[in-house]
Structure 1
Amino acid sequence: MPSNSAKLRRSAVRQDGAERRLAMVAFPGVTLLDVSGPAQVFAELGEIDLPAPGYALSYVSKDGGLVPTDVGLMIDTAPLSTMKPDEIDTLLIPGGPGIWKLRQDEAVMRWIAQVLPNARRIASVCLGAFALAWAGALEGKRAATHWRYCPRLQDSFPNVKVEPDAIFVQDGRVWTSAGVSAGIDLALAMIEEDFGHTIALDVARRLVVFLKRPGGQSQFSTVLAAQASDVEGRFSSLHAWIIENIASDLRVETLAAKAGMSPRTFARTYVNRTGMTPAHGVEALRVETARLLLESRQIDNVVEVAKRAGFGDDERMRRAFLRHLGVSPSEYRRRFSG
């Protein structure tokens, strides 16, 4: 638990009119987008009139200077020694292939451990969750990381509740996100927490990305999940055709004819290749179509969204949303479209 003095320091950061110090830890082999994605989101606030002090963004590393990223580009950093642990409002640890060597760096891990009890908020992107776990910050917490490493994180830290489908997870003052681009969603959610939905939505629009604040969306879209299972791409063209004709009659016989198979053979092959029945696949693609329409607000009327997505009526769409996303269409729109 943080001490009373730590709580007072964090309060002072918010009330004395100074910008919030947001520190990102860099290390050789850090993933560039894990750093640059959130950094661009936070930097965008400089173009907006804010109701409260914004962020002072710092990049720090063990010795300072130029740090090579996973793609060879360099990040200019300040030494850890120039950044006092009790001055940091938000600590963000990105991921990357270099994260495994970071664990052996006693100086960096010791500095992180000193920051943890003082910072108002601590966060990670992708494999950065492992650094937080090594430091003990995820004990008993819910957490996210890149989908490929969720089993490893769970096996290594049984007391961490890993959520493999989440784009990001907030558990108290601890924030963790999935791989690479999910750091953008994480940063937008932080801005929303600090400055409100309107400003976060403004930043999202400036960056031409969706504002996905609650983090409850899967790391995979339905199309990506089906493609990942169908490794040979047997049904790629069929999925494209379904999306183009999403409001049509998409019964098994129609899909089988399009795929050039008998209905029975098609149903069996589809399940084997995608892990879904044809009916479930069509419904999932209709949910995804409706989800995008709700997010973009191209259509204000929910009944019309249901028709465009091929559900026929809004009640069928509501039941499908509850099955696939756990929320109703109206609740989804409230959360994700602003």
Structure 2
Amino acid sequence: MNVKDFDFDLPQELIAQDPLLDRSSSRLLVLDKQTGEIKHKHFRDILSYLKEGDCLVINDTKVIPARLFGVKEGTEAKIEILLLKRRENDIWETLVKPGKKAKEGTVISFGDGLLKGTVIDVVEEGNRLIQFSYDGIFEEILDQLGQMPLPPYITHQLQDKNRYQTVYAKHEGSAAAPTAGLHFTKELLEEIEKKGITIARVTLHVGLGTFRPVKVDEIESHHMHSEFYVVEEAEAKKVNDAKKNGGRIICVGTTSCRTVESASTEEGILKAGSGWTEIFIYPGYRFKTLDCLITNFHLPESTLVMLVSALAGREHVLHAYHEAIKERYRFFSFGDAMFLADLQEN
């Protein structure tokens, strides 16, 4: 399949720059993955599409304030770094701008020396391994010095850092938010549980590779970035029990989807465990565990549009996107949501 098969024209003004005041008041486009039928709702209406016995799978990763601004010791040249992956012994894989100022051995100072980083290696695609030194607790220093690593299409910093976190964010480690989860409030989650829907929590630490464009013409040649996931025994049981009892597995976001599909057997049994996944889901993929998906509207030609197309069909998805553009839905991280399901089951 060609990458151009997943292209569409998006007016710049539909890229949401700020989250709504009330998380659950965003709009919801409901797409029947079998027929392509579309309904226009609001996000809190998701409750009427969830049924007793279903299992909602959420990603409880927490975004860290991973963007740091420092100076190169000796020259005072300004350097910006983005923390991507935590390694051992205070070593992180990072993205450095400008890279040419960060040769091996370079020492970068942040917050007048509160935190220092030494470049110890250059890894794939020009990323740097940096070893940090500091007094105290790294996470507290990061909270003090770091900024939220908002996607490149968001043009300003947030007033409130927590608006780029889900209300159930728990395990720190992401460089980007699992944005489909941003629509949920604690009250809505309570109502969902009261209705007899199980909520299972998995963790996948989202990397910046999620925004990496597909640079090959034929999508089958694209290599996915790797991301770390964890599925606990009790949470796997919730999913497997729901499946066994005829409930639907509804993933919140492409990250929960990728976790569940990576950790499942061919028979659709979710296995507890942790590891790195490079799963690339595009049309032709057979879903093992997931039945329905809650997701935002994604970038043209992105792996995320391809994943959604694998579930509901490319033609249905692109038609839904064109409808969303016509109806002036808000796109990307702070935008509106879609629910993809077999509506004949509702």
**TM above 0.5, one fold?**
no
TM range (shorter): under 0.3
- Structure with bigger RCO (C-alpha 8 Å, 6+ apart): 2
Whose radius of gyration is greater, 1 or 2? 1
- Normalised by the size of structure 1, how large is the TM-score? 0.27
